Structure formats: structure tokens, C-alpha cells
């Protein structure tokens, strides 16, 4: 494994103070290497600190709201382009969200962590990603089959997803596109099949990740 300096700077973007404290304690209990955790409540704070002294890794803790999650995913894509060597980890709220991010996002993640896992399992996954060298992580991201793009959506399906994320109902979308409601529902159903989701909430989550990733779908 690639040698890492004794003091490793880790940036954590997390609005919940208690979660940030818990992660800091977890990482600080690991002695080789010694991690220094710096917590930021928003992206602007992190950007200012990154300009002063670079971080080895950045961990995004996805909030529960769709609006904030979209902001995080969009900003995460910018980090991947601006600082490609920085380790990038996402903490998802549950297993279904973690799986969806892994499946749909084309932005390279070095790790997608599930907050709902037991502490020991979460810590094991986190430390495995942080201690893995960048070359191995990049190779894994290129060869992991769940990182491939989903089946391509049709232009109409993409348009419908954009309307849905903006809060339009099926009838409103039909009116906007001057199409039959049954036709819109059929396109929506086909999009759900292609994306591998089974509920309206899952479709909106998938749409968020597709619409706000670094690579357009």
C-alpha cells in the first residue's frame, strides 16, 4: 500500500454536529495513519480551507432533503474535475440510496458509504477506502460494473424527468408537451424500468442524480 504521511487531512461536509463529532472520534481512534478531521457545514467553507491547504479526502454526508442532495451531488462533480486526485466519499442515508448512487452516478467516487450500517461495518468500509491508494481506487472505479451508465433514456423520457423534478404533475406535463396523459405515463414507466426503480420517490431520486451529475445523460 502507498505510504501516507502521519497527519492526513480529511474534510467532512456535514450539517449535523453530532454526526460530525462521531465521525471525528471514529477516525481519530485509528493510529496509522493519523487522521485530522476538519468539519464544514457548507461547500463555501470547505472551498476556502482547500485553497489554503489541500485535503487528502473529502467526505460528503448527504442530507435528507432533495434540494440539498442535488446541490451536494452537483458540487461533488465539480470537485472531481478540479481536484481529481482527492479521495471523494459520499455518505448515503440508507442502503437503497447508496445503491442508487453507485448505479447511476458517472462521477468517480472512491467510496459510497451507508450511514445505516452498524458502526463496526461502517468504520471498516470507511477506513478501507481511506487507506487504499488512489491508483487502486481509480482502477476499481473503472472496472466495477455498477459504475456503468444505465440504459440510455429517450429525449422524451429525459424531458419528463426534468419536469417531474421541477414539481410538475403528469397532467401538467402532458399539457406542456401536448401529449396524451396515457402516453406520458407510458414514458414514465419505461424510464422507471431503465433506471431500475419501482416507486415515484425512487424515480425522483434517480432523476436528481442523473440531472445533477458531472456528465450529462
Q: Which pLDDT belongs to residue 72? A: 74
Q: Which pLDDT belongs to residue 107? A: 59
Q: Which pLDDT belongs to residue 86? A: 92
Q: Which pLDDT belongs to residue 139? A: 45
Q: Which pLDDT belongs to residue 133? A: 64
Q: Which pLDDT belongs to residue 177? A: 94
Q: Which pLDDT belongs to residue 136? A: 45
Tell me the C-alpha to C-alpha distance, in Å, between residue 82 and each of 47, 113, 115, 188.
11, 22, 27, 35
Residues with Cβ within 8 Å of 160's Cβ and at least 6 positions away in sequence, in order, are 173, 177, 184, 187, 188, 191
Q: Report yes or no: 109 and 89 within 8 Å, Cβ to Cβ.
A: yes
Q: Which pLDDT belongs to residue 186? A: 95
Q: Which pLDDT belongs to residue 138? A: 46
Rounded to whole angstroms, how far apart are CA atoms 144 and 109?
Answer: 11
Cell of 84: 481529481
Rounded to whole angstroms, how far apart are CA atoms 13 and 28?
Answer: 17
Q: For the chain, list the domains and their CATH numbers.
A: 7-147 (3.40.50.2300), 155-211 (1.10.10.10)
Rounded to whole angstroms, how far apart are CA atoms 165 and 152?
Answer: 18
Q: Which pLDDT belongs to residue 15? A: 75
Q: What is the pLDDT of residues 18-65, one digit of tens each?
A: 667 777 777 766 555 788 889 898 889 999 999 999 999 999 888 767
Low-confidence ranges of the chain (pLDDT < 70): 1-6, 17-19, 28-32, 64, 103-108, 133-151, 211-217
Amino acid at each position: 500500500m502507498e505510504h501516507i504521511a502521519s497527519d492526513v487531512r480529511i474534510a467532512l461536509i456535514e450539517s449535523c454536529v453530532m454526526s460530525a463529532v462521531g465521525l471525528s472520534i471514529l477516525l481519530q481512534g485509528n493510529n496509522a495513519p493519523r487522521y485530522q478531521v476538519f468539519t464544514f457545514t457548507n461547500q463555501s467553507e470547505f472551498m476556502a480551507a482547500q485553497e489554503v491547504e489541500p485535503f487528502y479526502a473529502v467526505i460528503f454526508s448527504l442530507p435528507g432533503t432533495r434540494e440539498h442532495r442535488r446541490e451536494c451531488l452537483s458540487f461533488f462533480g465539480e470537485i472531481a474535475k478540479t481536484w481529481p486526485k482527492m479521495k471523494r466519499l459520499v455518505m448515503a442515508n440508507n442502503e437503497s440510496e447508496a445503491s442508487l448512487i453507485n448505479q447511476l452516478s458517472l462521477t468517480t467516487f472512491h467510496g459510497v458509504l451507508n450511514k445505516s450500517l452498524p458502526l463496526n461495518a461502517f468504520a471498516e468500509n470507511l477506513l478501507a477506502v481511506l487507506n487504499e491508494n488512489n491508483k487502486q481506487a481509480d482502477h476499481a472505479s473503472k472496472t466495477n460494473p455498477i459504475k456503468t451508465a444505465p440504459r440510455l433514456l429517450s429525449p422524451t423520457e429525459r424531458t419528463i424527468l426534468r419536469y417531474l423534478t421541477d414539481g410538475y404533475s403528469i397532467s401538467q406535463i402532458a399539457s406542456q408537451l401536448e401529449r396524451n396523459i396515457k402516453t406520458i405515463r407510458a414514458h414514465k414507466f419505461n424510464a422507471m424500468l431503465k433506471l431500475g426503480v419501482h416507486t415515484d420517490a425512487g424515480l425522483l431520486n434517480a432523476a436528481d442524480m442523473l440531472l445533477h451529475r458531472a456528465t450529462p445523460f
